Amino acid sequence: MQNTTLILLLGAMAVVAFYFGRSRSLALVGGASKSAALHSLPGYYGYFTVVWCLLPALALMLLWLLFEPRLVVAFVVSGLPDAERQMTGGELNLLVNNIQNLASGDAVSGEVDSVLRAAADRYNEISQWSRRLLAVLVLGIAGLGATYAWRRIQPDLRARNRVEQVILYLLVAASSIAILTTVGIVLSVLFEAIRFFQKVPLTEFLFGLNWSPQTAIRADQVGSSGSFGAVPLFTGTLLITAIAMSVAVPIGLMTAIYLAEYSSARMRAIAKPLLEILAGIPTVVYGFFAALTVAPWVRRAGEGLGFEVASESALAAGLVMGIMIIPLVSSLADDAIHAVPSAMRDGALGLGSTRSETMTKVILPAALPGIVGGVLLAVSRAIGETMIVVMAAGLAANLTANPFEAVTTVTVQIVTLLVGDQEFDSAKTLAAFALGLMLFLVTLCLNILGLRFVRKYREQYD
């Protein structure tokens, strides 16, 4: 039976359970006119029955679906002839793959012999059997649960409190998913990174000057020893981030100042949504624009001035990334400026300073912590930005501070290492997770710091 059919059936059972629970509660006290004799509203007795009907059944189904594939494979493997069961892990994996492909009617690598055929049949048989068992068990438990709840309904059963307790648990579970996500990120990245650092020492990764992750497939291959010194990646990331910031911070800040202090209300009403559009454009689109329009333009301009410009220069990627970040900086700076109490502004103006003097000498110093917090968040955004650099920055790890040369970044390397075929125990793949760990830690620090600045000084003037 298909899972969707099963879920639909469960839903139907829940509706029936609700109806029976509700009507039993009413029947016990003798009709709707006497529902005041019940502890809770009649509907709650219905929900009480639904909870008992659905929750155990769904829990069983989830567990089953999580463990079923492995169990089926284990059964099939244990049914194989002795010769096959002695195989090493990799060979066995391949064999299991072939069995699964044959069972589902896909192409199979190698010869199909009688052993394989028998195993595939067995595989199909066991999965079918498992499906049937699952359907019977789930529907049975749902029915049993509903009946149990139905029999427990009494006028003095505190149905509302029980249902509300269950809802509260569900709410707690939903809110802890945010925590689980963070834990998941940390664990998944950390485990692979630790495996990487067992192969490559941490000091080499952090301080090595040479990055070429191509590891040799054959031992006698030339020029692919694989070296994992990540310093060129860090400097490349910093270079592009610095270019982006030198575009985004002054422009974003001046935009915020202009819109807060000088522009008419009408212009503000037009300019703000336009800048928000800038923030809503997908980064892949910025990347396309950087690679196809801005990069050639930077190259022509640079060559016109007599510089040698790489076609994937850091400058093009940084410029476009800077434009992308302008709205972030300007909206956070806007918040910080508006958080400064107007008494300070009025006081400065009343003492005869011009508006620009009020801004630069009174408001900006007062808003500075908030602005710094905003800039930190923007830096974290620039460091973690992926698509623009993947499309417009280079792949070669150059250790340079020249914005006209091609550099590569941490995110670009993560993408290039993990896109395409990969084996999960090579240093090359694991290196991506080590880079991911660095990326996560650095952006985490910047975010915590930035958010703390932004929040603390916003509250201080309230």
Partner 1 sequence: MKDANSTRMKVEAGLQRRRRKERVFQLIGLLATAVGIVFLGVFFFSLIKQGASAFEQTHVRLDVEMSSEALAPDGELDLIYADFDGVIRSALRNLFPDVTGRGDRRELNQLVSIAAGYQVRDMLVEDPDLLGGKATIWVPTSANVDMLVKGKIDPGIDEAMRPVSNQQIRWVDQLETEGRIETRFNTALFTNGDSREPELAGIKGALMGSVYMLLVTVALAFPIGVAAAIYLEEFAPKNRWADLIEVNINNLAAVPSIVFGLLGLAVFINWMGLPRSAPLVGGLVLSLLTLPVIIIASRAAIQAVPPSIRQAAFGLGASRMQVVFHHIMPLALPGMLTGTIIGMSRALGESAPLLMIGMVAFIVDVPGGFTDPATALPVQVFLWADSPERAFAERTSAAIIVLLGFLLLMNLTAVIIRKRMERKW
Residue 181 found at the interface with partner 1 (CB under 8 A): yes
Residues 189-218 that bind partner 1 (CB under 8 A): 189, 191-192
Instruction: Report in angstroms how near the CB of residue 150 gets to partner 1 at its nearest.
Output: 23
Among residues 59, 63, 136, 177, the one that binds partner 1 under rule CB under 8 A: 177
Nearer to partner 1, 398 or 443 (CB): 443
Q: Name residue, tokens 């490349």.
A: 236
Please state, in angstroms and rounded to a whole number, the distance separating the CA atoms of residues 454 and 367.
10
Helix axes 410-418, 427-460, angle to 10 degrees: 140
* Using rule CB under 8 A, residue 269 touches partner 1: no
Q: Interacting stretch for partner 1, rule CB under 8 A, among 7-15, 50-58, 211-219, 432-440? A: 432-440
Q: Least distance in Å: CB of 155 to partner 1?
A: 19
Q: Residue 79's closest CA among 59, 95, 102?
A: 95
Sign of the four-CA dihedral 39, 40, 43, 44? negative
Compute CA distances 462 → 334, 363, 371, whole Å: 16, 15, 17
| Among the listed residues 7, 136, 171, 269, the single contact to partner 1 using CB under 8 A | 171
Which of the ranges 15-23, 122-130, 181-189, 223-231 carries the binding residues for partner 1, by CB under 8 A?
181-189
Q: Which of 49, 98, 127, 255 binds partner 1 (CB under 8 A)?
A: 255
In the list 275, 337, 397, 430, the residue contacting partner 1 (rule: CB under 8 A) is 275
| Measured distance CA(360)–CA(257) in Å, rounded | 10
Q: Which is nearer to partner 1, 141 or 234 (CB)?
A: 234
Closer of 186 and 242 to partner 1 (Cβ): 186
C-alpha to C-alpha distances, 451 to 341, 369, 373, 374, 397, nearest whole angstrom: 21, 11, 6, 8, 32
Give the nearest distance from C-beta 139 to partner 1 in angstroms.
23
For residues 414 and 189, the answer to whether their CB atoms sit within 8 Å is no
Helix axes 427-460, 314-339, angle to 10 degrees: 30
Indicate the residue among 41 and 118 with the shorter CB distance to partner 1.
41
> Which amino acid, residue 433?
F
Of the pair 66, 222, the CB lying nearest partner 1 is at 66
Q: Which residue in 12, 168, 202, 216 binds partner 1 (CB under 8 A)? A: 168
Query: Where in 384-413 is the site for partner 1 (CB under 8 A)?
Result: 384-387, 390-391, 411
| Residues in region 216-245 near partner 1 by CB under 8 A | none
List C-alpha distances in Å: 365 to 251, 361, 372, 427. 18, 6, 11, 49
Region of 119-127, 138-146, 147-155, 271-279 interacting with partner 1 (CB under 8 A): 271-279
Q: Give whichever of 146 and 324 is closer to partner 1, judged by the CB atom.
A: 324
Query: Measured at the alpha carbon of residue 363, what is the angle toward residues 345 and 331, in degrees to the nearest 5?
Result: 115
Q: Which of residues 368-387 bind partner 1 (CB under 8 A)?
A: 377, 380-381, 383-387
Nearest approach, Cβ of 260 to partner 1 (angstroms)? 9
| Minimum gap (Å) between residue 274 Cβ and partner 1 | 5
Kindly indicate which of the ranges 49-57, 279-287, 336-344, 367-375 contains the residues binding partner 1, using the contact rule CB under 8 A: 279-287
Inter-CA distances, 190 with 374, 405, 421, Å:
28, 33, 22
DSSP reduced 3-state for 31: coil
Closer residue to partner 1, CB minimum distance, 49 or 411: 411
Mark the segment that binds partner 1 (CB under 8 A) among 52-60, 209-217, 287-295, 301-309.
287-295
Separation between Cα atoms, residue 75 and residue 115, nearest integer Å: 15
Binding footprint of partner 1, residue count (CB under 8 A): 91
> Residue 38: left if φ>0, alpha if ψ -120 to 50, beta else—which one?
beta
Residues 323-352 that bind partner 1 (CB under 8 A): 323, 326-327, 330, 352
Which 8-state DSSP code applies to residue 227?
E
Segment 437 to 456, residues that bind partner 1, using CB under 8 A: 439-440, 443-444, 447-448, 450-451
Task: Kindly identify the residues of this chain, within the stretch 304-323, that bind partner 1 according to CB under 8 A.
Answer: 323
Candidates 38, 43, 39; CA nearest to 22 is 43
DSSP 378-428: HHHHHHH--HHHHHHS-SS------TTS----HHHHHHHHHSS---TTSHH
User: Does 121 help bind partner 1 (rule: CB under 8 A)?
Assistant: no
